[in-house]
């Protein structure tokens, strides 16, 4: 019983330590333009119909999520995006971007499924542990607690 509580406490500490904030990486010029190219490609492919709208919107969500990992200057990002404003992506570029978005989506689904399986496994292990019941009689009443 104490071993399980120790493991549970250790798991909570590891999870909380993983949530500790770390300073964000400062975005380099190369990263500004790489992000801007990906953003404009996905955005224009979605607007032009060369990419399914749901795939394009999912791609934009993923890009915004990855952008949250960086410290960046919004004016510099606007300038980088503006550099690609007049470009029109080809069908091949749109297909490539869509395939990458779908691959990321599948990877996320697999990770979520693995996490759910791990959580179920942990819950099953905890629920299958033997339980103890203690009963106390006070006068004519009996109080029982199960641990």
Strand partners, 144: 135
Contacts 24+ apart (CB under 8 A), 131-136: none
β strands within 23-63, DSSP E: 25-26
Which of helix, strand or coil describes residue 84? coil
CA dist 51 and 76 (Å) reads 27
Tell me the pLDDT tens digit for each residue of 31-83.
999 999 999 999 999 999 999 999 999 999 999 999 999 999 999 999 999 99
Tell me the pTM. 0.66
Residue 143: its H or E element? strand 141-146
Count of H helices and E strands in the chain? Answer: 5, 4
């Amino acid at each position: 019983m104490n071993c399980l509580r120790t493991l549970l406490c250790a798991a909570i500490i590891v999870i909380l330590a993983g949530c500790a904030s770390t300073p964000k990486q400062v975005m380099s010029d190369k990263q500004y333009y790489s992000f801007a190219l990906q953003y404009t490609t996905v955005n224009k492919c979605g607007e032009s119909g060369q990419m399914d709208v749901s795939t394009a919107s999912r791609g934009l969500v993923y890009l915004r999520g990855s952008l949250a990992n960086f410290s960046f200057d919004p004016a510099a990002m606007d300038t980088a995006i503006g550099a690609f404003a007049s470009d029109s992506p080809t069908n091949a570029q749109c297909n490539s971007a869509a395939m990458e978005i779908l691959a990321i989506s599948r990877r996320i689904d697999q990770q979520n499924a693995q996490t759910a399986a791990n959580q179920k496994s942990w819950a099953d292990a905890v629920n299958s542990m033997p339980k103890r019941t203690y009963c106390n009689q006070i006068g004519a009443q009996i109080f029982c607690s199960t641990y």
